[in-house]
Amino acid sequence: MTPLLELAEVDTFYGEIHILQKVSLQVQPGELVCLLGGNASGKSTTLKTCLGIVRPAAGRVLFDGEDVTDAPTSHRIARGMAIVPENRRVFAPMTVMENLELGAYLRDGDLKGDFERVFDLFPRLYERRDQLAGTLSGGEQQMLAMGRALMSRPRMLLMDEPSMGLAPVLVEQSFQIIADVHAQGVGILVVEQNANMALSIADRGYVLQTGRIVLSGPAAELAENEDLKRAYLGR
Amino acid sequence: MEFFLQQLVNGLTLGGVYALIALGYSMVYGILKLLNFAHGDVYMVGAFAGYGVLVAFGGPADPRIPVVTLIVLMFLAGMLASGILGVVIERFAYRPLRNAPRIAPLISAVGVSFFLQNAALLVLGARFRSYGTARMVDPATGLQWGPLRISIIRIVVILSAVALMVVLHLLVQRTKLGKAMRATAFDREAAAMMGIDVDRVIVATFLIGSVLAGAAGVMVGLVFSRVYHFMGFVAGLKGFTAAVIGGIGSIPGAMMGGLLIGLAEAFSAGYISSTFQNLIVFGLLIVFLLARPRGLFGVPEPVKV
């Protein structure tokens, strides 16, 4: 089976600093994969490389069999990628509706059904649809960032630290929604520091350490891995 | 009272012009955090393009086409010339410096400004040109309210400035491009993550800002009649002042700032002395920088969490 998303031996630099070193990973269609790792391990860079915000110095990025290494971000999004960025990055001075519209920026035609789908998932956003995004609470902003990404009808959703800065009850809610979206057949690559929570919903996982993949496997196996337990799982 | 109203009309005319210039400053700053010091010279080129059309069709006294058509063509030529120039400047003077430290494009902007002024001097000479509007449109036509008289040209200028600002407002608030511009101004990388082609949004911003400056150039030519290579310098500074007073990056701020500067200039020229008008305008800038540096509509720099 052709992987939906594949990084093949990707190297990236930030100025002189070597960030990702021969990183290879795959996400199959409809699969939920988590990418674990500590601070500055290169997790966000990996997602930005998938999306084309960061360009690799070597290696290839493939999306649904197509080599998109040199393709602009807009092309990748048009083909079916979307991201829920770190810290949500909602457009604070714009309304909730406008934020959602921007999520569908590359799509033409009627968005009515998509708005309904997002508002079904997040009724709170419907209540606040005419409010400025900057006035929402952290949890609501996370919903908005999710909804905004879903507006492009992605086949592949990239999520950067969806639990960051959220109260524990909201973290659980957030992961429940990720699981729901996954159940609809969307491939997901989720970057997390909250390894327990991520492994509990993921099919497979990768562990990144200072720019290298040091461990990978089915989520259930990783959850029992002794090294990983000591390093990240706090057990 | 009559004198007051006359100054008010002068102030509104000037204010419309400064607002149009300020909008270009503010929009470009909003998206690139760049003070485009070449903007005043883009406006100068617009004024000359309008003049060129005027001359090409036989001059003000004896134009070969109806005056209304001629004025419309002058506006279109000024807006087109400035618009193209703005896009070219962005492409060659700013885009290569997109990831350079912020001081680099600023210096590039000052360089482009000198280049345009001296290119105009070289090609067109140093003498003042006049649109000769009085020979084209009888200055006596217009509105007469008791002792107050507003010439038809001023009415045209004020109304077209308002119309352009209404169109701009609708464009920024309602259209997809406008939403992309606002998103890009707030967070360029997040905008790119939505699939917005940020480079194209930046080009569109330069195009729109420069088109407005070109219209302002033709307006000034029509009302004040003097067109020359250095006219963009002071006008650009005043547009910049208006943008800062309104809150740089804010579109309604640029409109209000322009109006305020225009009124301040007209009233100080009328009631104090035209010698002091610039002193008062730039004094206003200093007062704002001291008392309210973010301007009328500006938001304080957001603190990134």
| Closest chain B CA to residue A152 | B194
What integer pLDDT is reported at residue B274 of this predicted model? 87
Of B186, B195, B305, the CB nearest to A91: B186
HEC secondary structure over chain B:
CHHHHHHHHHHHHHHHHHHHHHHHHHHHHHHHCCCCCCHHHHHHHHHHHHHHHHHHCCCCCCCCCCHHHHHHHHHHHHHHHHHHHHHHHHHHHHHHHCCCCCHHHHHHHHHHHHHHHHHHHHHHCCCCEECCHHHHCCCCCEEEECCEEEEHHHHHHHHHHHHHHHHHHHHHHHCHHHHHHHHHHHCHHHHHHCCCCHHHHHHHHHHHHHHHHHHHHHHHHHHHCEECCCHHHHHHHHHHHHHHHHCCCCHHHHHHHHHHHHHHHHHHHHHCCHHHHHHHHHHHHHHHHHHCCCCCCCCCCCCCC
Which of B167, B158, B180, B246 shows the shortest CA–CA distance to B211? B167
**Residue B139, domain member (yes or no):** yes
Cβ of A77 within 8 Å of Cβ of B194? The answer is: yes
What integer pLDDT is reported at residue B224 of this predicted model? 87
CA A64 to CA A87: how far, in whole Å?
28
Give the mutation candidate from A44, A79, A94, A105 for the B interface (greatest B CB count, under 10 A). A105
**Residue B296, domain member (yes or no):** no
Strand extents, DSSP E, chain A: 5-11, 13-14, 17-18, 23-27, 32-36, 58-63, 66-67, 81-84, 156-160, 187-192, 204-209, 212-218
Both A67 and A175 in one domain: the answer is yes
Both A63 and A135 in one domain: the answer is no
CA B44 to CA B24: how far, in whole Å?
14
Task: Confirm or reject contact between B138 and chain A (CB < 8 A).
Answer: no
| Closest chain B CA to residue A97 | B179
Task: Confirm or reject contact between B197 and chain A (CB < 8 A).
Answer: yes
Residue-wise pLDDT for A10-22, tens only, equals 999 988 899 999 9
Residues of A in contact with B195 (CB under 8 A): 73-74, 77-78, 105-106, 152
Residue-wise pLDDT for A203-222, tens only, equals 999 999 999 999 999 999 99
Percent of chain A with pLDDT over 90: 74
Both A30 and A128 in one domain: the answer is no
Which of B32, B76, B51 shows the shortest CA–CA distance to B201? B32
Tell me the mean pLDDT in the region A79-87: 95
**Residue B301, domain member (yes or no):** no
Which of B269, B266, B263, B290 shows the shortest CA–CA distance to B19? B263
How many domains does the structure of chain A reveal? Answer: 2
Residue-wise pLDDT for A89-143, tens only, equals 999 999 999 999 999 999 988 999 999 999 999 999 999 999 999 999 989 999 9
Cβ of B183 within 8 Å of Cβ of A83? The answer is: no
Percent of chain A with pLDDT over 70: 98
Both A232 and A137 in one domain: the answer is no
What integer pLDDT is reported at residue B305 of this predicted model? 47
| Closest chain B CA to residue A164 | B305
For residue A136, what are the domain limits?
Answer: 82-153
- 3-class SS at A186? coil
Q: What is the pLDDT along chain B (305 residues), one digit of tens a residue?
A: 788 999 999 999 999 999 999 999 999 999 999 999 999 999 999 999 999 999 999 999 889 999 999 999 999 999 999 999 999 999 999 999 998 999 999 999 999 999 999 999 999 999 999 998 888 888 888 888 877 888 999 999 999 999 999 999 999 999 999 999 999 999 999 999 999 999 999 999 999 999 999 999 999 999 987 899 999 999 999 999 999 999 998 999 999 999 999 999 999 999 999 899 999 999 999 999 999 999 998 876 655 44
Residue-wise pLDDT for B23-66, tens only, equals 999 999 999 999 999 999 999 999 999 999 999 999 998 899 99
Give the CATH number for residue B96. Answer: 1.10.3470
What integer pLDDT is reported at residue B301 of this predicted model? 61
| Closest chain A CA to residue B187 | A91
Average pLDDT, chain A: 92
The answer, as to whether pTM is greater than 0.90, is: yes
For residue B185, what are the domain limits?
Answer: 2-291
Both A74 and A160 in one domain: the answer is yes
